[in-house]
Amino acid sequence: MDVTWRTNLPWGHPKADVEGKHLIDFLSQEDLPTFRNVFRQILQDQIPVRDKHFTIFTAKGIPRQITFSGAPDVDAEGKIIGAIGTIKDVTRLRGMEAQLLQASKMEAMGTLTGGIAHDFNNIIQAIMGYNQLMISGRLGKEEDLPYLTSISELIVRSRELVRQLLLFSKKEEPSSRVVNINEEIKNIHHLLSRSIPKMIDIKTDLFDDIFPINADATQIGQVIMNLVINARDAIGERGLITIKTANLVIREPSTIGGFQIQPGSYVKVSVADTGCGMDEEVKRRIFEPFFTTKESGKGTGLGLAVVQGIVKKHNGYIFCDSTPNQGTTFHIIFPAVSGDMPDVIPEQTRQIISGTERILLVDDEKSILETVRDTLQLYGYQVVTAESGEEAVSIYAKDKHPFDLVILDLIMPGGGGKKCLQDLLQIDPTVKVLISSGYASGFQPQDLAVAGAEGFINKPYQSEELLSSIRKILDRKTSVSHKSVD
């Protein structure tokens, strides 16, 4: 089983370290039993082998993925004198395969979550509606308030879980603007402080003159929040989490964190913890949907997958450094943009404005019709309901009193909200329509102006969100013209 290297000296090993040695001297310990079986198959069973995968180490101890193909080596008399074969370095190819596999998993997740999101959001919307009506005093008693408040918190958690799932299935680009990432980190710092036990310290090290980036501020906040919560879980009872930002200028094509990054200006965000760290096997799987090392019921396995999805949508890169018992640092690199930094606008309190206008409410879920109708009536609106797009068109065409607004669910049996919107525009080109949906596949909010609707609200929504959206539309001047949805 002696080996003669018939190629350039492999992977940086000096000639003296290679001559007279067998390939097994360079393989990972885990692969040795399999490799010996392969040679036994060649030498004893006289059966050639093809593309057997192993891990080999360079002179610097860096693992490389190889494939070995071999056959018996015979002399002039036909006697087996050894094995002859070829070794191929497929590290880059295996990396591409892993990326393709990850992309396939994410696509499957998108298909799955998109299919269930509409129904799930309708359920949450109905529960939220009943709960808010009871809190308002219309249906509940004062002694029930602590329980109702707890229900509200659970509803919010459920809504956020669905929104995280939908990050896999939404196809639209983020709603981007020029963002000062330092300000976004500062804005959510108080939320992070409330979410993290006091025994865990959160520090920030923010570079003063940070480059601006083009990003969806809400999604950037989600990234930071998820990474900090992940760090909290890795630390346990006591430790330190550090959020750091820095400018990064790359002057020639470089490999960073396993990614080929082109020259340009970037912003680097790092979230480091003093937690338990990860081994190589866990690191390979951390971005897989539903993969978690937490106990059953304590983690969904979505946090880091969501982070990766958001970073990719922003044309960024994410990778991590981690060693067991020595903590973990996640690094994110975002492309910087030229332009002025946005001014920091103080948060303003939203004002709920009631009204007396007539509203046609269209939804195929009776529970949503009931709760939204009762909420709107509580604030003075006159409400007529319809359980389908066809019924809504019939009511709108026959009603002698004009409707000031139509709140229209997008996904319904029959023609659905899309067809209903077209028919309403045929009847009345000036109709004001607020689209409502928990999953709007194939119909993006940015297309609403072209389609003829005045606004869009995501289910599940709080009453305050709906009331605010209604007033914005009703107080806006009517659009002059609309185009077809098709």
The percent of residues above 70 in pLDDT, for the chain, comes to 72
**pLDDT of 83 over the 70 cut:** yes
Q: Taking residues 451-456, what's their average pLDDT? A: 82
391 pLDDT tier (thresholds 50, 70, 90): very high
Distance CA 223, CA 226 (A): 5
Q: Read off the DSSP letter of residue 56.
A: E
Select from 171, 202, 170 the least CA-distant residue to 186: 202
Predicted local distance difference test score (pLDDT) of residue 448: 61
Predicted local distance difference test score (pLDDT) of residue 482: 44
Predicted local distance difference test score (pLDDT) of residue 335: 95
**pLDDT of 218 over the 90 cut:** no
The answer to whether the beta carbons of residues 294 and 111 sit under 8 Å apart is: no
Predicted local distance difference test score (pLDDT) of residue 3: 45
Pick the CATH number of 358-474 from 1.10.3720.10, 3.40.50.300, 3.40.50.2300, 3.40.50.720: 3.40.50.2300
Distance CA 347, CA 332 (A): 27
- Please tell me the least confidently modeled range out of 17-26, 78-87, 403-412: 17-26
**pLDDT of 453 over the 60 cut:** yes
Higher pLDDT, 114 or 268: 268
Give the CATH fold of the 10-89 domain. Beta-Lactamase (3.30.450)
**pLDDT of 174 over the 60 cut:** no
Average pLDDT, the chain: 78
* Planar angle of CA 14, 17, 18, nearest 5 degrees: 90
Interaxial angle between packed helices 91-135 and 303-313, expressed in degrees from 0 to 180 and rounded to the nearest 10: 110
270 pLDDT tier (thresholds 50, 70, 90): very high
**Domain locations along the chain:** 10-89, 181-341, 358-474
Predicted local distance difference test score (pLDDT) of residue 359: 96
Predicted local distance difference test score (pLDDT) of residue 108: 61
State both tokens at 191.
Answer: 């939320």
State both tokens at 30.
Answer: 């885990």
- The torsion defined by the Cα of 108, 112, 117 and 123, in degrees rounded to 10, comes to -150
What pairing do the DSSP bridges indicate for beta strands 358-362 and 405-409? Answer: parallel
Predicted local distance difference test score (pLDDT) of residue 42: 82
In tens, the pLDDT along 392-409 reads 999 999 987 889 999 999
- Please tell me the least confidently modeled range out of 130-144, 173-187, 298-312: 130-144
Predicted local distance difference test score (pLDDT) of residue 348: 41
Distance CA 163, CA 170 (A): 10
- Cis before residue 335, ω within 30 degrees of 0? no
Predicted local distance difference test score (pLDDT) of residue 365: 86
Which of 186-195, 315-324, 342-351 is the most confident on average? 315-324
Predicted local distance difference test score (pLDDT) of residue 213: 94
Q: Read off the DSSP letter of residue 10.
A: G
Select from 292, 322, 313 the least CA-distant residue to 166: 313
Residues paired with residue 463 on neighbouring β-strands, in sequence order: none
State both tokens at 53.
Answer: 């995968």
DSSP string, 260-314: EE-SEEEEEEEEEE-S----HHHHHHTTSTT---SPTTS--S-HHHHHHHHHHHT
Q: Read off the DSSP letter of residue 71.
A: E
Q: Taking residues 158-174, what's their average pLDDT? A: 56
Q: Taking residues 205-210, what's their average pLDDT? A: 93
Q: Read off the DSSP letter of residue 143.
A: G
Q: Read off the DSSP letter of residue 27.
A: B
344 pLDDT tier (thresholds 50, 70, 90): very low
Higher pLDDT, 378 or 290: 378
**pLDDT of 172 over the 60 cut:** no
369 backbone dihedrals φ, ψ, rounded to 5°: -55, -45
As separate numbers, helices (DSSP H) first and strands (DSSP E) second, the chain gives 13, 17
State both tokens at 65.
Answer: 């993925």
Q: Read off the DSSP letter of residue 336.
A: B
Higher pLDDT, 124 or 104: 124
221 CB burial (10 A radius; 0-12, 13-18, 19+): middle
Q: Please check whether the domain covering 181-341 is classified as CATH 3.30.565.10.
A: yes
**pLDDT of 117 over the 70 cut:** no
